[in-house]
Structure 1
């Protein structure tokens, strides 16, 4: 059981570390989404036995997640700047091929409730609006070393951390996609690499981001769970809008680098990596029959 949950966490982390598909989607595809959500809720349960069982499950999952995330960040940070358009094309494949997957899995929530498509439009407009207004949208990039931090930027990073972690439980948009939307994906990935390379001038920003993540877990997980339970159709339509809108920040991702590059265009789009991204998503769907209880 430890090995299975380690693998689950490892695959979730790979999804969470790149824009396009969330760890929640992976949990959904691999058949342990409900157990994952319930365990997050039970860690504050008054029932000691339930709390310990949930905590033990999340620890096993977390070990795999941390392992995969560190390896993923080290790999991504080493190629992100030099191969930004290939990576962005890969992310585009993740997103595009994930959309029909979500529609297929949630067809009961979507069928006959087409008036909720307004929430898809709202989700897409929200993503595009945030992407346009984020601090890196002026094309100057972001430097998150301690000497470059301001109170305004610290507050922004804290809020983004809280919002991004909420996406981990959504079967759709990923936390990394939200980081990309808010213009912090490349800066945060670079900051993690710097700290892992013992450059601790980037540690304060990661502490702020981590505090935001903790706050987000406490403040939003139950709310999202209730919305998915009580207003699932509206939420799924909204999630689809977030995913559709996220094409914009993916194409603009190169502008958020420390040394900004032009936004991706059809001439810099890489079809091979786009197809690879799609193939990975389809492959993950097949894993449900391999990784099971």
Structure 2
């Protein structure tokens, strides 16, 4: 794969797109793959991940680091992953606060962005055969069906955590399927994307302060081990799924795009703004909390908005703004890569 020449501004925007992907991946119901798909670097992302194969390992362990870096399109992957990492400790934390305090408004903005994504992706799709329409319907049904499933309970078994990593990474590689929401359904969202991430962040802060007391905290160490296993599962899932997607794009491009549009359309059911959170409860009817004292989200109860309320119209306005954000991204992509 020939690596494109990138200016400094191109590299900067790749980091920004990586931050957007990371933020989207962490928010339940939103897929980071949508960002990659709409921003125009989805196929390069999949093709680069495909290069993480046996040949790449031979180059790496053979000490040919420069060849390895060039072979896997390292400049591109490093910039995207840098943005992903930055998002988890910066923008993602801001979104955690916003969703906690203003959930309907945040979901409204995301709903508009997903709606805009569907419009602009569909606009450029010109293979609407009967078969592809059926594939689109199937993808939509899968996306909607996912939002209606009942979640499982928390599970710290390391084999299950590894499986969660493999499955949840679909949010990065399959636009429209939210990895975060899948973790909610599997019962491990709080454990893997809240508790373990916070444990890692606290560890880094402690190390900077030359404080190693966490080493003797068994609960803290268990969370770090769980995070490591989850990341390993994510890497395995990312590489294996990218190879599958690369093959389908090569042999069934139109069908794959139709399925992806369906996934994204189906995800509208997950990001519907007007919904109430349903929290996990024990047998005594008491709300369960995570290690930080936050109530554990189980699912959502959706309802139709009251159009007599000003808050409803603010939410709709944010949805329009979300749609316009996608429009600007699309316009930038057309200017940067004119047909």
- State the TM-score, normalizing by the size of structure 1: 0.76
Distance 1:184 1:249 in 2: 18
Question: In the alignment, which residue of structure 1 is the partner of 2:49?
Answer: 40
Does the CA contact (< 8 Å) of 2:34 and 2:264 recur in 1?
A: no
Question: In the alignment, which residue of structure 2 is the partner of 1:13?
Answer: 19
Could you tell me which of 300, 304, 311 is aligned with 1:266?
Answer: 304
Question: In the alignment, which residue of structure 2 is the partner of 1:87?
Answer: 106
Could you tell me which of 137, 142, 154 is aligned with 1:126?
Answer: 142
Quote the offset at 1:157 in angstroms.
4.6
Does the CA contact (< 8 Å) of 1:181 and 1:249 recur in 2?
A: no
Question: In the alignment, which residue of structure 1 is the partner of 2:10?
Answer: 4
Is 1:254 the counterpart of 2:292? The answer is no
Is 1:243 the counterpart of 2:264? The answer is yes
Does the CA contact (< 8 Å) of 2:15 and 2:80 recur in 1?
A: yes
Question: In the alignment, which residue of structure 2 is the partner of 1:67?
Answer: 86
Question: In the alignment, which residue of structure 1 is the partner of 2:201?
Answer: 196
Question: In the alignment, which residue of structure 2 is the partner of 1:212?
Answer: 233
Quote the offset at 1:135 in angstroms.
1.9
Question: In the alignment, which residue of structure 1 is the partner of 2:131?
Answer: 115
Could you tell me which of 163, 166, 169 is aligned with 1:165?
Answer: 169
RCO greater where, 1 or 2, for CA within 8 Å and sep 6 or more?
A: 1
For the pair shown, the structure with the greater C-alpha radius of gyration is 2
Question: In the alignment, which residue of structure 1 is the partner of 2:326?
Answer: 281
Does the CA contact (< 8 Å) of 1:134 and 1:183 recur in 2?
A: no
Question: In the alignment, which residue of structure 1 is the partner of 2:68?
Answer: 51
Is 1:99 the counterpart of 2:118? The answer is yes
- Structure 1 residue runs of 5 or longer lacking an equivalent are 137-141
- Structure 2 residue runs of 5 or longer lacking an equivalent are 1-6, 60-65, 204-218, 280-294, 307-311
Q: How many residues of Structure 1 are paired with residues of Structure 2 in the alignment?
A: 278
Distance 1:178 1:127 in 2: 11
Output the aligned Cα RMSD. Answer: 3.5
